[in-house]
Amino acid sequence: MNLDINLILIIIISAISIFAFSRPEIVGKLQFNAWQIVHRKEIHRMFTYGLVHGSWIHLLINMFVLFSFGRAVLYYFDQAFEGGAAIRYLILFVSAIIVSTIATLSKEKDNPHYNAVGASGAVSAVVFTSILFDPYNPILLFGIIPIPGIIFGVLYIIYSKYMAGKNVDNIGHDAHYYGAIYGLLFPLLYEPKLALHFLNQLTSFNF
């Protein structure tokens, strides 16, 4: 069941994204648009934007990362909690889609031209939850270079925060940043002692 919930998410997101690739009117109804959310009360956009993607590359990268790290997080949840790993994982993913855009909602609420799509914020949360449980587990930078997860995490957060401040491209860096932070915090809502586990992992590394 645990692996199934991750595959189910990937299948649903992939199916909707692929269906919407040639149907811009569907994307227009589902995408994140802070102006529409605030001024027209289209609250569904806080979630549905994560179900559509801008391109095949965007979709494939997100789903590959979700497949890889989702399995790890489900395993960690199984080990850390007594049952309910699948439902916790689902709550993490769905809530991260929403939480990761709260800052953007405030920033862009009066900008009717700002749109965003993709599950990157939630995927970032899944990646950083895995880092909380195993900070030195290697992550492949650019899919090639293995670096410890905690080093990747620090660089990712710094970069995302910096680029969010610059606001010079069409990438949702705010969602990446807040999704990552949320991914670190989410397991602590269930078990605050995991913070000690994280610190112990950091200090027990053998150089």
Find, among 36, 58, 61, 56, the residue nearest to 46 by Cα.
36
Q: What is the pLDDT of residue 141?
A: 67
Give me the helices (H) in the chain, please. 2-21, 24-30, 34-39, 45-48, 56-80, 85-99, 102-108, 120-133, 149-166, 173-190, 194-203
Q: For residue 66, what are the contacts with CB-CB under 8 A and spacing of at least 6? A: 6, 9, 10, 119, 123, 126
Q: What is the pLDDT of residue 1?
A: 46
Contact 130, 186 (CB under 8 A): no
How far apart are alpha carbons 12 and 122 in whole angstroms?
15
Block residue for tokens 């990268």 = 61
Q: What is the pLDDT of residue 162?
A: 83
How far apart are alpha carbons 171 and 187 in whole angstroms?
27
How far apart are alpha carbons 178 and 97 in whole angstroms?
10
Half-sphere exposure of 197 (CA within 13 A, CB side): 17
Give me the tens of pLDDT residue by residue for the chain, a chain 207 residues long: 445 899 999 999 999 999 999 999 999 999 999 999 999 999 999 999 999 999 999 999 999 999 989 999 999 999 999 889 999 999 999 999 999 999 999 999 999 999 999 999 999 999 999 999 999 988 876 667 788 889 988 988 898 888 877 765 556 788 899 999 999 999 999 999 999 988 988 887 654
∠ CA 149-169-102, rounded to 5°: 70
We report the CATH number of the domain holding residue 151 as: 1.20.1540.10
Strand pairing report for 145-148 and 138-141: antiparallel
Total domain count for the chain?
Answer: 1
Q: Which domain holds residue 120?
A: 2-203
Q: For residue 105, what are the contacts with CB-CB under 8 A and spacing of at least 6? A: 34, 37, 38, 46
Look up the pTM and report it.
0.91
Find, among 166, 88, 171, 69, the residue nearest to 126 by Cα.
69
How far apart are alpha carbons 45 and 51 in whole angstroms?
10
Block residue for tokens 């959310």 = 37
